[in-house]
Structure 1
């Protein structure tokens, strides 16, 4: 079952069970996906977004909410930070399991070995392969410095 179908099914269940917070988050997810569909249609694409793009949208949504929760905590608004974390929990239900640090390190080493990457000039190719193989399963903001460190040592 593709992600859109899973999200639509979860939305229906949330409506039936009258789960207001969950329903709101699922509607935000749908709106973000539809916004991307509309943008793609403007670029001439006939199909909507596929699962890889939906994973990217969900990943961005989680990252935005993590930053908001951190800002709310710093501002002393723990109630708003909790609301952001509740949204993160709903969004993460649709994301694949995140890789552990050891699994990320192994994936980086495998990509470097497979591509024969030797210098920092190969970083783009390594990151491209990791994004293609592990979209939504690792935080590429943290992976970039790890790849750079491996290629410069």
Structure 2
């Protein structure tokens, strides 16, 4: 079993013992998502820490989107619950890049792509190819794409 999955299971046990309902239900749902991922496909397999982290990130993104939907629908209590679950999951993800850190990485990638002959909005793919490995798991794709578009447009 991967070390991250082990940590999730140990934290779930601790949350259950301390009667922390929010934490235990969030970790239970996340471990279920990991298990589903392990058995999907043609053969059951053990997920690596990176793959487990991607599942956690996907779950955290679901919580953010649900919180927004609940807030827009006037269900503040449900939105708050989703945000709290997202915060629990954030503890298992790498620290997110700040806007300044992301801007610096994207600016460097734009310079690299320009050196390779890619310019303007059509360079988006080339720049994203350079940026994605550098920010993997530390910045949401939409955030990265928006920053790349902004810099390629001369912003």
TM-score (norm 2): 0.83
Per the alignment, in what secondary structure is the counterpart of residue 40 of structure 2? helix
Correspondence for 1:71 = 69
In 2, the alpha carbon distance for the partners of 1:138 and 1:64 equals 15
The answer to whether the aligner puts 1:103 opposite 2:101 as a matched pair is: yes
Structure 1 residues 47 and 109, CA gap change in structure 2 (3 angstroms): farther
The offset of 1:53, in angstroms, is 2.3
Correspondence for 2:18 = 17
Asked if the contact 2:12/2:27 (under 8 Å) is kept, the reply is yes
Structure 1 residues 29 and 128, CA gap change in structure 2 (3 angstroms): farther
In 2, the alpha carbon distance for the partners of 1:126 and 1:12 equals 43
Asked if the contact 1:66/1:84 (under 8 Å) is kept, the reply is yes
Gaps of 5+ in 2: none
In 1, the alpha carbon distance for the partners of 2:48 and 2:130 equals 18
> Which aligned segments of 4 or more residues in structure 1 are displaced greater than 6 angstroms?
none
Per the alignment, in what secondary structure is the counterpart of residue 137 of structure 1? coil
Correspondence for 1:33 = 34
The offset of 1:148, in angstroms, is 2.4
Correspondence for 2:49 = 51
The offset of 1:137, in angstroms, is 0.6
Deviations 1:46-69 (A, max 9, x none): 742222222222222222211211
In 1, the alpha carbon distance for the partners of 2:124 and 2:48 equals 26
Correspondence for 2:84 = 86
* Count of aligned pairs: 150
TM-score (norm 1): 0.84
Structure 1 residues 80 and 8, CA gap change in structure 2 (3 angstroms): same
